[in-house]
């Protein structure tokens, strides 16, 4: 079925039991990504962006665990698989790209050895074909002279080229979904755009779905199709990038927009958000954003707004509650 999303996350909650009670790190997150689509995930530090990616990949650090909800990959439920089956899903069906390319690369092996090992783990190819495929992958991610570079070691590449190698590695098994967590944060600004353009092209060429986690609204504006905005472990707004950026429905999203310099300059009425994200052990009642919200109402301090669909997007804010306005 072509309209089955590659990733379908339904009411996902993640908890960390601790000595002083249970912390809710993710609280009812629902989102989906279609084939060939890039979903940006934004929010300030601690919003739960990385946690969402880790939960989807079954990589939560115990005692952290999925406490509710479901994760479906291409129509198959994956949140209840055994560790062994989940390991097969990672690598084969989900590719991961992290902020620091060196966490994904082993300094002791050439990039070719690492690519070939991954390719042979997941695809039924002999050594020579796997090596050929490794060279093709390096070419595809824009590494010059790939048939020489395949025998080089990670330290022989620049930061940007290393991240390209990591992308090649993430693509090696032809995954349906790529989870990229701050893939350009550690790179020079001039290289960042090249890497995001590369992700965009790969997504278009192969129909790969991409979850692009970043705190940078500028990257989202340039790269993503839709964007999910997170705050204190909750989804506060989701929708097409153009709409969310041009006409944010949630005051938190509007505040984040003020942090894109170019767009901020054109929209002088947007201000920086005062205060900071609450810790997990002190998430306010009602709307978690209420202490920082310029439009806070009485209700926001007591009642939690649910995500309400309007048009092609959705937001969780009492301001958008039509019944209340009427
Ligand atoms: N192992 C853990 N145990 C308990 N809480 C954790 C653990 N790891 C992360 N957290 C908490 O979960 C919340 C979400 O963290 P997460 O790493 O997803 O944030 P993020 O949005 O990716 O932020 P950043 O932009 O800094 O990467 C934070 O409050 C964090 O302190
Ligand atoms: Mg993170």
Residue whose CB lies within 8 A of the most ligand 1 atoms, among 17, 19, 49, for a mutation test: 49
Q: What is the pTM of this model?
A: 0.93
Domains of the chain, CATH where assigned: 7-93+173-325 (3.40.50.300)
In this predicted structure, the answer to whether residue 267 has a pLDDT above a threshold of 60 is no
- DSSP for 9-29, please give it: EEEEEEEEEETTEEEEEEEEE
In this predicted structure, the answer to whether residue 290 has a pLDDT above a threshold of 90 is yes
Residues across the chain: 326
For 181-194, the pLDDT digits (tens) are 999 888 888 888 88
Beta bridge partners of 70: 10
The pLDDT value recorded for residue 269 is 43
Q: Is the CB of 215 under 6 A from ligand 1?
A: yes
Mean pLDDT of 5-17: 98
Nearest CA to ligand 1 atom 27: 45
Using pLDDT thresholds of 50, 70 and 90, give the confidence band for residue 323: low
DSSP conformation class of 60: P
Atom of ligand 1 nearest to the CA of 215: 25
Q: Is the CB of 214 under 6 A from ligand 1?
A: no
Question: 83 Cβ partners below 8 Å, 6+ apart?
Answer: 58
Mean pLDDT of 31-38: 97
* C-alpha gyration radius of the chain: 21
Mean pLDDT of 217-243: 95
Mean pLDDT of 72-97: 95
Cα 203 from Cα 35, distance rounded (Å): 8
For 243-254, the pLDDT digits (tens) are 999 999 999 999
For 137-150, the pLDDT digits (tens) are 999 999 999 999 99
Please give the angle made by the CA atoms of 209, 215 and 221, to the nearest 5 degrees.
60
Please give the angle made by the CA atoms of 94, 95 and 97, to the nearest 5 degrees.
140
The pLDDT value recorded for residue 326 is 42
Cα 252 from Cα 117, distance rounded (Å): 44
């Amino acid at each position: 079925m072509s309209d089955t999303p590659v990733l379908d996350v339904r009411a996902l909650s993640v908890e960390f039991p601790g000595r002083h009670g249970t912390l809710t790190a993710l609280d009812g997150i629902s989102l989906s990504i279609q084939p060939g689509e890039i979903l940006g995930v934004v929010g300030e530090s601690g919003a739960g962006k990385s946690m969402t990616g880790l939960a989807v990949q079954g990589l939560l650090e115990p005692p952290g665990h999925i406490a509710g909800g479901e994760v479906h990959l291409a129509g198959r439920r994956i949140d209840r698989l055994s560790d062994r089956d989940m390991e097969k899903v990672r690598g084969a069906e989900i590719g991961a790209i992290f902020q620091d390319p060196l966490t994904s690369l082993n300094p002791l092996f050439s990039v070719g050895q690492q690519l070939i090992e991954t390719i042979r783990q997941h695809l039924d190819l002999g050594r020579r074909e796997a090596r050929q495929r490794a060279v093709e992958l390096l070419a595809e991610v824009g590494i010059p002279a790939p048939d020489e570079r395949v025998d080089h070691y990670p330290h022989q590449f620049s930061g940007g080229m290393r991240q390209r190698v990591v992308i090649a590695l993430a693509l090696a098994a032809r995954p349906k979904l790529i989870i990229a967590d701050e893939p350009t944060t550690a790179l020079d600004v001039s290289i960042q755009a090249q890497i995001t353009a590369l992700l965009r092209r790969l997504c278009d060429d192969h129909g790969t779905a991409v979850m692009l986690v970043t705190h940078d609204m500028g990257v989202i504006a340039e790269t993503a199709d839709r964007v999910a905005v997170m705050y204190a472990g909750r989804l506060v707004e989701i929708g097409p990038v153009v709409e969310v950026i041009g006409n944010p429905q949630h005051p938190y999203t509007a505040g984040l927009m003020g942090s894109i310099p170019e767009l901020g300059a054109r929209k002088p009425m947007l201000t920086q958000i005062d205060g900071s994200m609450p810790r997990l052990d002190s998430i306010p009642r009602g709307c978690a954003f209420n202490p920082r919200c310029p439009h806070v109402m009485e209700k926001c301090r007591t009642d939690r707004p649910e995500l309400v669909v309007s048009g092609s997007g959705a937001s969780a804010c009492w301001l958008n509650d039509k019944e209340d306005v009427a």
